[in-house]
Amino acid sequence: MLRTAIIGLGPIGNIHARHYQEHPNCELVGLCDIIPERADDAACRFDAPAYYDAAEMLRTVKPDICGVCTGGHEYGGDHYTPTIQALKAGCHVLGEKPVSNDIAEAEEMVRLARDQGLCYGINLNHRFTRLTRIARQWLNEGRLGHLLFINMAMWIKNPRETSLWFQVKALHPHTIDVMRFFCGDIAAVQCFVTRAPGRTIWSTAHFNFKFACGAVGGLTGSYDIERGHPMERCEVAGVDGRFVLDDMMHKLTWYPANNCETTVINNTPFGMIPEKVFDDTFRNRIHRFVEQVSDGAKPATIEAGGADALAAQRVLAAAITSVEENRVVEAPVPNDAI
């Protein structure tokens, strides 16, 4: 049984707690939030002890796995301290995205996990869907042939105006991770930004990419569009065909290059509610981390690990430089250079 604790019990920490509680290999041994009511509510809900101080919890309950679900500035500013505390306490850590918007801090977190020989994963849950795995399998089998391009888009309504780069930093760890999952490292970035009337932050952005494998790509993202329609789309093309993933977890379509018979795989039975499908991505991601830790996986093999998340943050930092300096920014450092 893996002794599991969580730091940060906002809405997202509660989702993590539920999925750990459901896992037969996990036992929730501590739930910590610096806001006592949040820790107490979660403790009551999940029948586990509440703590208000992470260091005290780690010392007392000695977890095997620690979930870090804090938020903070740009929805990731609070992750650093509890992640370092948990790694120093010898825990495998599954943290929320973004790993950190401060690249030096993210490097330190990834380096510490590596030096301690601990598994460090990030909840880049958009790649943990059945359809995304099928599409990745097609790539592994060479079904697309020589890779040419990837087009990705993601849009939701988020009215928060907390910082100029909030949309780029909080939304796109997911999209960049999915693009890297399919096409590998990104070698050059160019970014353009705009905003809806009345907004002050860069709430809509478009990115152009060159991948190390030679493929090219585009990404459009926005915090300016109301929900109600699909919110995410990814198209990957090679010389032998292309696939389109609608909403990552809803529909996968294969368009072969040499005939007009398409294949459609739907993930959502008629009547299934979208929230349930999104919740599944958390369960898939969290349970995969538990499975890898249970199996004694080598830290470097953890799917959507800290180094992957760091690579995505480097791409986003390069995109911001591209806007600020109005230029293409070459080759963010490869993800093993920490």
Ligand X SMILES: NC(=O)c1ccc[n+]([C@@H]2O[C@H](COP(=O)([O-])OP(=O)(O)OC[C@H]3O[C@@H](n4cnc5c(N)ncnc54)[C@H](O)[C@@H]3O)[C@@H](O)[C@H]2O)c1
Interacting residues toward ligand X by CB under 6 A: 7-13, 32-35, 38, 54, 69-71, 75-76, 78, 81-82, 96-97, 123, 125, 170
* Distance (Å, whole) CA 2 – CA 112: 21
Element (H, E) at 158: none
> What minimum distance in Å lies between the beta carbon of 6 and ligand X?
9
* Distance (Å, whole) CA 215 – CA 249: 24
> What minimum distance in Å lies between the beta carbon of 87 and ligand X?
14
Cβ closest to ligand X, residue 39 vs residue 188: 39
Phi and psi at residue 50, to the nearest 5°: -95, 145
Cβ closest to ligand X, residue 54 vs residue 65: 54
Residue nearest to ligand X (CB): 10
Cβ closest to ligand X, residue 127 vs residue 242: 127
> What minimum distance in Å lies between the beta carbon of 331 and ligand X?
27
* Distance (Å, whole) CA 183 – CA 140: 11
> What minimum distance in Å lies between the beta carbon of 131 and ligand X?
17
Cβ closest to ligand X, residue 308 vs residue 329: 308
* Distance (Å, whole) CA 319 – CA 317: 5
> What minimum distance in Å lies between the beta carbon of 285 and ligand X?
8
Cβ closest to ligand X, residue 9 vs residue 144: 9
Phi and psi at residue 85, to the nearest 5°: -60, -45
What does each C-alpha distance from 164 to 74, 146, 268 come to in angstroms?
Answer: 10, 38, 36
Peptide bond into 98 cis (omega under 30): yes
> What minimum distance in Å lies between the beta carbon of 68 and ligand X?
9
Pair of tokens at residue 327: 């230029």
* Distance (Å, whole) CA 318 – CA 337: 16
* Distance (Å, whole) CA 333 – CA 91: 28
> What minimum distance in Å lies between the beta carbon of 301 and ligand X?
21
Which is it for strands 26-32 and 2-7: parallel, antiparallel or unpaired?
A: parallel
Cβ closest to ligand X, residue 34 vs residue 148: 34
* Distance (Å, whole) CA 274 – CA 128: 16
Cβ closest to ligand X, residue 38 vs residue 242: 38
